[in-house]
Amino acid sequence: MRTFVIGDVHGRCAQLLNLLDMLPRDEDVDTLVFLGDLVDRGADAPGCVDHVVKMQRANPERVICLRGNHEQMLLDFVEGWNNIWLTPVTGGERTFEQYTGKPVTVDSHKDLDEMRQLFENAIPSEHLDFFHQTPFYHEDEFAIYVHAGLDDGKHPRESSKQSLLWMRDMDFYKNYRGKPCVFGHTPTPLLPLRGRLGRHGIYISHSAIGLDTGYNFASPLSCLSLPDFNLYQTFADGREETHVITSFIPETLRAMQKKAGIGG
């Protein structure tokens, strides 16, 4: 049994479909974990969500999608808590336009109310239901999986939802030594240089493993399999790459590799 972990997708549906096709995953025994942020910035957020919803419904025990801060911002907008999702920096405007077919135009509170109603009417109810039921973390024998990070190295059940969704803590990135924790949220080019591995750009420092390899046209979408530590990546231009990671693997996972006879 293996776990395949996919970093922040951000609407890159074509890259996601290519990546899923690459994976040597046995759907009956292997688990697939999405670290959240399916939406915003990319060309087809609704397509990403629809595909993951269908995968999860078909195999709920083996397909897990965590909630990212971008899904949370979308829900907060729909529920009227705040409107940060529609600010240009989030990329939520693109997701709004993809679901509604209309541009975001806001000059008043009335406009915001109209945008909210328009979006609620346009987004499929199964997509909203899916966002509402996404968990904040997942754990298996190999690792803990969260979108952003952990409070002071605590287990996610003892960490705040704010930290699980939003945290950017250099101490966690550099010094976390608990059960291996795989996270997204912060693009690896923004993480400490010492933990960035080679040209493929994932991050490993002690037991912290970062998989958000960034969002721009040149950025790969990345999937790491555990415990073997094979890395699968797809690019916007259609390229595919596979890497076998051998450096800085947490000792608990290296012990599992030895037990399974991985890597000789």
Task: Per residue of the chain (264 residues), give pLDDT as tens.
Answer: 999 999 999 999 999 999 999 999 999 999 999 999 999 999 999 999 999 999 999 999 999 999 999 999 999 999 999 999 999 899 999 999 999 999 998 888 889 999 999 999 999 999 999 999 999 999 999 999 999 999 998 999 999 999 999 999 999 999 999 999 999 999 999 999 988 887 778 999 999 999 999 888 789 999 999 999 999 999 999 999 999 998 888 888 888 888 777 764
**Cα Rg of the chain, angstroms:** 18
What is the per-residue pLDDT across 32-70, written as a single tens digit (0 to 9) for each? 999 999 999 999 999 999 999 999 999 999 999 999 999
Q: Which domain holds residue 140?
A: 3-260
**Cα 162 to Cα 149: distance, rounded to the nearest angstrom:** 10
Taking every pair of C-alpha atoms in the chain, what is the biggest distance, in angstroms?
65
What is the DSSP code (8-state) at residue 55? H
**Cα 34 to Cα 16: distance, rounded to the nearest angstrom:** 11
pLDDT for residue 54: 98
H/E segment holding residue 260: helix 251-260
Could you tell me the sign of the dihedral formed by the alpha carbons of 163, 166, 170, 175, in that order? positive
CATH number of 10's domain = 3.60.21.10
pLDDT for residue 132: 98
Q: Would you say how long the chain is, in residues?
A: 264
pLDDT for residue 263: 66
pLDDT for residue 241: 95
Total domains in the fold of the chain: 1
Pairing of strands 208-210, 181-183: parallel
